[in-house]
Amino acid sequence: MKPRIFQIIIFQFLFFVHIQAQNRYDKNWVLGLEGTNGVILNMEEPLPGIENVNIPIDMTRANTTINDSIGNLLFYTNACTLANKFHKIPPGGDNFCPGLKVNNIGNGVLALPIKSESGPIYYVFANNGIIFYKTKDEIYGGSDKIITHKIIPSSIKDSFVIVEYKFPSKDTFSLGYLTACQHANGNDWWIINHKSYSNEFMSYLVKADTILAPVSSTVGKNIDNDDNLGQAVFTPNGEHYIFQNSWYGVQIFDFDRCTGKLSNPISFGIPKSDTLISDTGAAVSPNSRYLYLTTAYRLYQYDLWANDIESSAKLIAYWGGGGNFLLYMQLAANGKIYITPDQAKSYGVIEYPDSMGQACGFISEIFLNPSCQSLGLPNLPHFRLGALDIDCDTLTSAISRDKQKSRLKIYPNPVTSYFIVESMDEYGFGKGLNFELTDLNGQVIKREPLALQTLYRDIKVDDLPNGLYIWHIKNKGQIEQSGKVVIHRNY
């Protein structure tokens, strides 16, 4: 992860002149509790400006705020209810997560702006916060869907239309960890979430008029616990995706903004010196060099440019204990990183996150509002990446290929009598797909059509001897996906 010096210098320059830019979606944050204990924080100021307001919803652990491109407050949400800039709940703004008033999933909601031909629109994504149980051999926790709403400004001044949008997935996701990165075209977004109990990450391309089927990256460590004790972030330059969890440590991936693919994982454990497992937070400095991690009572800094990232760890601060843990983190428009505690009216702040070690200037308590107790910070992506100087249109076919490769899976493996071909697309198998099974010499043993818009196809193999076989998914004779399957019986 060596620095590309020229690009980083340009990036830093753009970051610090962003006040003049048209991407001020993160200027104002709304936090606090329902009633008179709300605040609007102007996060472009070195010391955030505070306006006390009466808000109609609790903005605690799961929350986000969105402004328009020039920094005017538009709306805010706690994943369950949305309020407008007048602090009213508009038509369609309630019951985002049916049955819940407050969503306590950290990083459980995210809002993304997209420019369209008719003007700006906004998407809101929320984990539904449901924890469910099946059998001991199946998934027993997680968010069974991502609830999506599209926010469209209307012709009536200061109003908008809210419509529910069907998210293109039937997967079960880890609780929280919602984050996004701008596509290389500078307008669309990749939203990424981790598939429960796996090492598979799903990247969805969010466009003004649609959300495309996912690109799958099966990479890194298997995560078999969905306790939401962590946070996922991108580096501000969009080159790396970081997923960290109290139990399973830190994973750092390269990220391709054109294809949505993750690669080249680096993983290491989180220090357990606090003798407990709690929510942990992550954030990256504006220059994309320093990763900051919280572990209950401690704050660590890691150098992402180091040859050995794990060994570069520096203990920045000890919070002091007493049950007041360090939790989630968020890089603000003023270039500082804020840290939320779980039982306090104040926040921690890293004043100079681009600086190494103690020079980063951590302050344990900055009083944003003495009357406000809030457990959260808004979950915000980096809005100022802009477009890459490459033609991503040439990569459209690559994205399509990844869609095809990721939309089918075959199980169980090994198999005794039959296995299942399952469509990962909620609309079922596409047109013209066929399944083929061959022996190691390439001789076709079975060929079965996959019926259009069906989700499953059983393939019987009880008439075949034990051994290793090769399977192919073909579209008009062209192989789109291949793999191996073992037939094994004890008789």
pLDDT in tens, 266-303: 999 887 655 455 678 899 999 999 999 988 788 999 99
The more confidently predicted of residues 104 and 269 is 269
Same domain, 119 and 42: yes
Number of domains in the chain: 2
- Using DSSP, state whether 18 is helix, strand or coil: helix
Place of tokens 């609309």: 427
Portion of the chain with pLDDT greater than 70, in percent: 76
Report the pLDDT value the prediction gives residue 263, as an integer from 0 to 100. Answer: 95
Same domain, 336 and 369: yes
Residue 400 within a domain: no
Paired tokens of 279: 């929510």
Which residues pair with residue 109 across a beta bridge?
126
Long-range contact list for 477-486, CB < 8 A, 24+ apart? 480/401, 480/404, 480/405, 480/433, 481/404, 481/405, 481/408, 483/410, 484/413, 485/410, 485/413, 485/414, 485/415, 485/419, 485/437, 486/413, 486/414, 486/415
Residue 159 within a domain: yes
Q: In the listed set 345, 365, 393, which residue is the last one of a domain according to the structure?
A: 393
For residues 264-284, one letter each, b for 16 or more C-beta atoms within 10 angstroms of the residue's C-beta and e for the rest, the string is ebbbbebeeebeeeebbbbbb
Residue 401 within a domain: no
Report the pLDDT value the prediction gives residue 272, as an integer from 0 to 100. Answer: 65
* Best CA proximity match to 174, nearest among 201, 149, 137, 148: 201
* Best CA proximity match to 103, nearest among 204, 1, 21, 175: 175
Q: What is the mean pLDDT of the chain?
A: 80
Same domain, 311 and 452: no
- Average pLDDT of 420-440? 80
Residue 402 within a domain: no
- Distances in whole angstroms, Cα of residue 273 to Cα of each of 189, 270, 298: 37, 9, 9
Cis peptide before 412 (omega within 30 of 0): yes
Same domain, 97 and 204: yes
- Average pLDDT of 10-22? 46
* Structural element, H or E, at residue 486: strand 478-487
Place of tokens 């070195």: 46
d(CA 238, CA 325): 29
pLDDT one-digit tens code per residue, 321-332 = 555 667 789 999
Identify whether the C-beta of residue 132 lies closer than 8 Å to the C-beta of residue 140.
yes
Q: In the listed set 331, 358, 393, which residue is the last one of a domain according to the structure?
A: 393
Same domain, 327 and 475: no
Same domain, 321 and 454: no
Same domain, 385 and 478: no
Q: What is the CATH number of the domain that holds 442?
A: 2.60.40.10
Same domain, 307 and 383: yes
Residue 399 within a domain: no
Report the pLDDT value the prediction gives residue 432, as an integer from 0 to 100. Answer: 75
Same domain, 324 and 200: yes
* Structural element, H or E, at residue 409: strand 408-411
Residue 422 within a domain: yes
Report the pLDDT value the prediction gives residue 116, as an integer from 0 to 100. Answer: 83
Residue 83 within a domain: yes
Q: What are phi and psi of 398, to 5 degrees?
A: -65, -40
Q: In the listed set 347, 370, 393, which residue is the last one of a domain according to the structure?
A: 393
The more confidently predicted of residues 378 and 279 is 378
How many other CB atoms are there within 10 angstroms of residue 4's CB atom? 12
Q: What is the CATH number of the domain that holds 320?
A: 2.130.10.10
Residue 270 within a domain: yes
Same domain, 136 and 208: yes
Q: Rounded to two decimals, what is the model's pTM?
A: 0.74
Q: In which domain, by residue range, is 219 found?
A: 5-393
Same domain, 372 and 415: no
d(CA 264, CA 252): 8
Beta strands in 276-375 (DSSP E): 282-284, 290-295, 298-303, 314-318, 326-331, 337-341, 347-350, 362-366
